[in-house]
Chains A and B, each alone.
Chain A
Amino acid sequence: MALVKVCSVSDVPAGAARRVSVGTREIAVVNLGDEGFRAVDAVCSHAHYYLDEGQVDVDEATIECWKHGSTFDLETGRPRTLPATVPVQVFPVKIEDDDVMIEVEA
């Protein structure tokens, strides 16, 4: 596993998400405010739409696919509502100073 800097804390406002690329992967970095940052696959597991373009629910720690409405648990990646049935991958996040670091397979 490798720790990769993907953006700065200030790049992602609280309650928002931003898409970053690590190698060939596209990852959604989500700022849950006081609860910290989370990172999941940016592409919905149901159809090829970007989760970072959807709504973040800070209280529920979920992100909603804007196209078909599936919400994903940002802790586990598991879908909480249909039509998605398959989890998205979750990536460990570390904050070092102003850097958002994601742990990905080397």
Chain B
Amino acid sequence: MSDTDTTTTTFDAAALEALPARAVATGGIREQAFARFVATPLPSKETEEWRYTDVSDLVFDQVPYSEGGAAETLDDVPDRVLEAADVVGDRAGLQIQRNGDVIITHLAKDLVDEGVILGDLDLAASEHRDLVEEHLHSVVPIDRSKFTALHAAFRTGGTFLYVPPDVQVELPIQTLTYLDADGGAVFPHTLLIADRGSEVTFIDRYASPDLRRALSDAVVEIVAGDGAHVKYIGLQDWGTGVQHVGVTRARVGRDAQVRSLGVAFGGTLARGEVEIELAGDGSRTELLGVYFGDGDQHIDHRSIQLHRGSRSSSDLLYKGALRDASSAIYTGTVIIDHDAHLCDAYQTNRNILLSEQAKAMSVPNLEILTDDPTRCGHAASVGPVSEDELFYLQSRGIPRDEAERLIVFGFFAEVLDRIDLPEVREGIERSIEAELARVG
């Protein structure tokens, strides 16, 4: 099959036509995106961006849209979906998407009264047309890659969150995207607009049972207005069999800040691109990442810290553990633009290998186009569990498995200590614990 041949894919004109009627509000985008998807070749390992992740055997033959249903009350939500949601913690808002449909949404009444909007992106495209048209795919353009074009063409559902100027949302808001359509595709999309001076924490969680095969093609767009504070937490917990490609991109205004945490435990292939555009003077970002690979899982993280505003600062810390025959690649780039003065940027990626077959690679890059950065640097490491540390702990009577567990938790503590939501931290610790239990 040639790269542009769509005759053997399920993502064709007929499938586009067959999307639910409510999903046509962004029709202009869909047609443009579909044309782009057809015209764009699959990413090749010949390109720097996809050099370490081979998707040449990825076939677009999933079911483009799988119904998730609708729920008046939670009585209509299947038990397995609620079980996947688990204990979500104290939340101001919660939305559940199953497969291609947002099935239920809740937002605290006082926030509704303050003008906060949380809901299905398809509905928002009708009910808040101006806001959606202004921002949808303004941060992640449809032509960024073949995957973003596919996403823009076939997305249904998704989360729209708008926080009006100077409104502080104290409790986190969360969306669960649950996929149980084996052989299907899902296109999670979060469009988060934090207007000037506002404050919000948003948690995106992707979950599924183990599936034979499925595709997750996700986009997260964050617009942080001047002085806004946004925390974004992405918890990728797909089951095996899911191939996940996602782009998270934020545009950060003057004196605004975006703090993000990306957690990747699931999926057979998990590729996450995170790009923060520090557009305004005095803007700031912190990017944290935690990942744990097992089996033959391949985890690919790419980050870009793009400094366009002066006195902007960024700090990235990604840490991962790999076992079995899993592999991870981290590629990070710091760009300080010509007109961005007195910027501060740092990136750190560290990997710990728990088996001889596991592989990790770290590729940091700096592109400093100005002559006066305050600080700009990077650090990277890949290595096995230190035999010296193991020996030290074992010499104090700690069994080898427990010693390794302590070392891995110590390794991740640098990131975990910076997570200020206890239930999120505890959830990650449980996932690490489960991964380590499987090692034994």
Q: Chain A residues in contact with chain B, CB under 8 A?
A: 45-47, 68-69, 73, 78-83, 85-86
Contacts and interface: CB of A to CB of B under 8 A. Distances in A.
Contact of A79 (B74, B89, B108): B74
B109 A82 contact: no
B134 interface: no
Given A85-B86, A86-B86, 10 more contacts: A46-B90, A69-B106, A80-B74, A80-B75, A83-B88, A83-B91, A85-B85, A85-B87, A85-B88, A85-B94
B36 to A, nearest CB: 36
B74 A47 contact: no
Given A68-B108, A69-B108, A85-B82, A80 B73 contact: yes
B86 A83 contact: no
Instruction: Please classify the interface of chain A as helix (H, G, I), strand (E, B), loop, or mixed, using the class held by over half of its residues.
Output: loop
28 contacts: A46-B88, A47-B90, A68-B91, A68-B108, A69-B106, A69-B108, A78-B74, A78-B75, A79-B74, A79-B82, A80-B73, A81-B73, A81-B74, A81-B106, A82-B74, A82-B94, A82-B96, A82-B105, A83-B88, A83-B91, A83-B93, A83-B94, A85-B82, A85-B87, A85-B88, A85-B94, A86-B82, A86-B87
Instruction: Please classify the interface of chain B as helix (H, G, I), strand (E, B), loop, or mixed, using the class held by over half of its residues.
Output: mixed
B28 to A, nearest CB: 33
Interface residues of B, number: 20
Nearest to B104: A82
A85 B143 CA distance: 38
A46 B88 CA distance: 7
Nearest to B95: A82
A99 to B, nearest CB: 33
B87 A45 contact: yes
A86 B88 CA distance: 9
Contacts of B82: 79, 85-86
Among A45, A69, A73, A81, find the residue whose CB has the most chain B CB atoms closer than 10 A. Answer: A81
